[in-house]
Structure 1
Amino acid sequence: MLEALAHQQLKALLRQEGAAEWPHHLSLSRLVARSLRRSDHTLIRLTPGTGPDWWISLLVPLALSDAPLALVLSQDLRQRLLQMELPRLRAVNLALPLWEGSGPCPPHRIWLLDHAELMEAWRNGQLGEHQLVIPEAETLEPKLRRSLAVRITADDWNRLLRSQPAAETSLMALHDRLSRRVLEPPRQPSGLVAIAPEEEAPLRQLLALLGPLPPPWDQWLEQGGDGWSSWAEVDMRLLQWTLHRQPLEPLHALAGLLRGRGAVLLGQLASPIAVRRSTQAHGAAPEAVLGLTPEVVVDLGDPPLADPLPLFAPLRQPLPNSPVFAQHLLEQSRRLVLGQARLSVILCDDEGLRLSLASAMAAEFGRRVEHESTTPDANGILCARWSWWLEQQERLPLPGQILAATLPIASLEDPLTAARVTALRQQGLDWFRELLLPEAVNRLQRSVAGLRRGGGRLAVLDGRLRSRSWGATVLRALEPWASLSRLLPN
């Protein structure tokens, strides 16, 4: 059977390369091989922060399988596959025949796709019987959402007017009505303005009566219904706005993508303990977090860590909406940075708060302070958004400390988040514990994983961690940790 063959080949490869640090190589290989043989849906959850050692355990059964496969990778993982993992397979005479680019994919090749190419292949009916293998399942939803997104710019409006001269007057009137709605005060600092379905309904009704529409208007018209969210991104310097539309749950919008098709998903998903305690109380299955209910769900956790994570999180700290919070952040950040010889990373999603803190820190620490730079000094002070850090941390040196100015909880000022929350509220669900908290826990776990490897410390300066009941869930997700009762220079 494929499982036994993959087990033997991987065992020989690991023996040839020497000791392997990750303890689950053989288990992962057998799970993947079993799923490929059965063509079922398998979800394998890795501990957030797990290093890339597991890669070879995924690739060995893929190289041995005769099933038509599509491997969906981000650009970073694709580079790792081509530059590092393929030579390892060749060293033990294992071939991994790859087909890159648009399809259709010839037989006996593994189709290498990114998420946008996956959507294109599915829409064009080119996937056929290909089973899907999707690492980085923790980023699957946002990447599929971006792949399905429709973006309407000022140039797209002009193309629409040129293609429909008979309806120019009506289209201009609808554009002006939306412009007044989008540009009227008060405006969010982010420049994002939610657009309700009833506000875009007249435009949708008119376009449905017109002839062939230029792209992306044809796609915008197709993607209607309650499962989508629309908003405008305003550029006040040019008094222009861009219309965005994205699905709330991309896997629901892609009904049929996984139907009758095997899929193996691997990801550094939120702590099973945290997710179960926040969802099972409401009767929801934790594995439905990705919009599907797989037949097999397995957790491959790391062995218990001997050294707990040093955590500075005083009991009494102001809340982010407190008028003294900004000053609190500045004072605590200054104290934490003093005497720190390694990189300090300050994470905050509130743009105004983050930029003002970076400016105040730069006034005292000078050029050590940088904003979202991939080339910080060895003892630099890097201010960034949580999402930026998650994308870039592998390219940066391990930090000596991370300062969580605010916890990575999505803001309801973001139109997409607000729409997802509204959908859960209409179902009578606890939208905070079903959506915002599990996502925040997962971001936090993945963001601080490097601290454990590098012997750094974590400081949480958000008072909600200690004052809210859900703070205990966040603390459990960080275990093991050791409380720092006072600040001492490293």
Structure 2
Amino acid sequence: MIEVEVHEQLRAFLRSQGEPYWPHHLTMARLVARALRLGRSSLIQTGIPTVGSYGRHRLSYLTPVLIWPGPAIVVAPVAVQQRLLLVEIPQLQQWIQNHKAIRTGDRWPGEDFDGVLIVSPQTWLDNALAGYPRIPKGIPTIIDGADDLERWARDYLRVSLNAEDWHQLMLARPDRAAAIRDARVRMTRAIFQHPPNPYQCCLLEGEERHLLEHLYTILGKSGATREAIASPRHRRSDPLPNGTEIAGGNDSLPHSWERFWQELNREDRLLWASVDREAGQFQLECTPIELGSLLGPLWSQQPLVLVGGALDLDREATVYREQLGLGDMTCVKFSRDRHTDSIRLYLPEGLPMPNTPEYQAAAIAEIRTILCVSAAGAGFTAILVEDIPFKSKLGSILAAEFGSRVQVEKIPSEPHGILVTGWEFWLEHQGRLPPPMLLAIATLPLPSLENPRVAGRVAYYKSRRLDWFRQYLLPSALNTLQRAIAPVRECQGVVALLDSRTLHRTYGRQVLATLGPLARIDYLDATWFNSERSIL
């Protein structure tokens, strides 16, 4: 069987490298080989890998894919594709003496192609959801980076209207230019009446929806595009040079407006505006709230192997599969190595709750103390603060004491730098930074209900009597937390968690399970920050 050959080939290759390797390589390789042979979908949680060795699991799925006699598809971001094409695949092909064809692109190379096609998530989703697929069904598919699958799908399914789209609409319908201009003025006034918030967006409900519906009525599109379709990209037409499109009739609209109207008239859609108050501009956004029903039909079209770091605390990934509409599949979750992936967790007691007026002062004092204790150690420090006013305040206070070492959401130029940042910036740039000796976390990354988009999703869950905290907020926070601390595991550094909810809320046990393996400490010791120390 292919499992035996894969096991023997990969084991021999790993031994030839003469370096320590991920202990679950052979098990995962056999699981992927079995999935290819039986055509049964699988979901594999590898455990969050360290940044320096990120992708150490990839040999485990590449080996069976290269030995497998039939065609296969690998879905991976562009940065991962480059690593596959330049490093892992050439190494394995040379060892296995395999000459299987490897291609990249946005379509299937040909009917007789039995090699490996590597595509981006955008390309794969476009093919799966479009009305004219360019990749045949039934081909075994590996999705590397399944942690981001929900975000990829939401980004793909989101439709937007910006200032250029309003201009194109007036070009397409010059007979209604005055009405379009008036609707845009009214929409601008209604949107800018919403109070400002740090997230630079606002939900659009009664008045704004009425303005859009009235505009479409004026354009002669009332009810013309309300029929249900398979996807927002199901119907396409050839664009004209000026960006308008011909769909038939005198009331045809640019494709962006047709798509937006189609999405707006579906159930369970979230409508909001991204606002640039300085420029006086806004962008309308519409996206599905619930993805399971939309994506569910896609998964049965081919055998799948979804590979992620930490998709769910549960081995069966129940919440993750429900969110994406994944059905029955083989689920495996590998444990982290307590000797190489462990961290020290500093979890002080006595701090005020984050929602109290006393919290910020106490957190600033605690962070200053930690930085002073760790000053003798060598290494880079990151401080995660999501609250925007608090982040700016903390950055100013620390810069006054520690000088140019402190940067606020800007990559430090010196090795002993102190980065004060939000979660999004940290997750995006952590691969370009050295592993932090100290990662201080002000509050858990629970999505804020002050964010209109979060509030809109929570309202959807509440309207259906669903547990919005444990089905949305908590899983999102745990996923973000696991990814954020991944670099600390590389140097077995210190994570300082200054959110006392971890100690006093029932979900604190899940937070600690997410952070494990760990050695919990509640006092400070300068020796912890020695770059040459090791965890016992």
TM-score by length of 1: 0.91
Equivalent runs, 1:16-415 vs 2, <5 Å:
16-49=16-49, 51-92=54-95, 93-106=97-110, 107-122=113-128, 123=130, 124-129=132-137, 130-196=139-205, 199-200=208-209, 202-204=211-213, 205-206=216-217, 208-209=221-222, 211-224=251-264, 225-273=266-314, 287-305=321-339, 309-338=343-372, 339=375, 340-415=377-452
Question: 1:395 & 1:451 partners in 2: Cα distance?
Answer: 14
Cα offset for 1:198? 7.1
CA contact (8 A) 1:347 1:402 kept: yes
When the two chains are superposed, the root-mean-square deviation of aligned CA atoms in Å is 2.4
Q: Percent identity?
A: 31
Question: 1:250 & 1:147 partners in 2: Cα distance?
Answer: 12
CA contact (8 A) 2:382 2:440 kept: yes
Could you say what secondary structure the match of 1:99 adopts?
strand
Q: 1:485/1:417 Cα in 2 relative to 1: closer, same or farther (>3 Å)?
A: same
Q: 1:239/1:435 Cα in 2 relative to 1: closer, same or farther (>3 Å)?
A: same
Question: 2:11 & 2:390 partners in 1: Cα distance?
Answer: 51
Cα offset for 1:287? 4.0
Could you say what secondary structure the match of 1:256 adopts?
helix
Q: Which moved more, 1:398-407 or 1:444-453?
A: 444-453
Q: 1:111/1:435 Cα in 2 relative to 1: closer, same or farther (>3 Å)?
A: same
| Residue correspondences, number | 483
Question: 2:141 & 2:207 partners in 1: Cα distance?
Answer: 38
What amino acid does structure 2 have at the position aligned with 1:125?
P
Question: 2:172 & 2:59 partners in 1: Cα distance?
Answer: 52
Match of 1:5 in 2: 5
What amino acid does structure 2 have at the position aligned with 1:85?
E
Q: Which runs of 5+ in 2 are unaligned?
A: 223-249, 530-536
CA contact (8 A) 1:234 1:242 kept: yes
Determine which structure has more spread, i.e. the larger CA radius of gyration.
Answer: 2
CA contact (8 A) 1:40 1:261 kept: no
Q: 1:450/1:442 Cα in 2 relative to 1: closer, same or farther (>3 Å)?
A: same
Cα offset for 1:160? 0.8
CA contact (8 A) 1:326 1:357 kept: no
Match of 2:225 in 1: none
Q: 1:422/1:91 Cα in 2 relative to 1: closer, same or farther (>3 Å)?
A: same
Q: Which moved more, 1:392-401 or 1:168-177?
A: 168-177
Question: 1:314 & 1:12 partners in 2: Cα distance?
Answer: 47
Question: 1:438 & 1:125 partners in 2: Cα distance?
Answer: 33
Q: 1:214/1:443 Cα in 2 relative to 1: closer, same or farther (>3 Å)?
A: same
Question: 2:342 & 2:69 partners in 1: Cα distance?
Answer: 45
CA contact (8 A) 1:42 1:296 kept: yes
Could you say what secondary structure the match of 1:318 adopts?
coil
Cα offset for 1:145? 1.2
Cα offset for 1:235? 0.9
Question: 1:47 & 1:128 partners in 2: Cα distance?
Answer: 32
Could you say what secondary structure the match of 1:117 adopts?
helix
Could you say what secondary structure the match of 2:354 adopts?
coil
Q: Which moved more, 1:394-403 or 1:458-467?
A: 458-467
Could you say what secondary structure the match of 1:410 adopts?
coil
Q: 1:253/1:72 Cα in 2 relative to 1: closer, same or farther (>3 Å)?
A: same
State the Cα deviation string for residues 159-178 of structure 1 (Å, max 9, x = none). Answer: 11111122333333332332
Question: 2:513 & 2:35 partners in 1: Cα distance?
Answer: 32
What amino acid does structure 1 have at the position aligned with 2:39?
S
Match of 1:14 in 2: 14
Question: 2:385 & 2:58 partners in 1: Cα distance?
Answer: 31
TM-score by length of 2: 0.84
Q: 1:360/1:385 Cα in 2 relative to 1: closer, same or farther (>3 Å)?
A: same
Q: Which runs of 5+ in 1 are unaligned?
A: none
Q: 1:160/1:286 Cα in 2 relative to 1: closer, same or farther (>3 Å)?
A: closer
Question: 2:103 & 2:496 partners in 1: Cα distance?
Answer: 46
CA contact (8 A) 1:348 1:408 kept: no
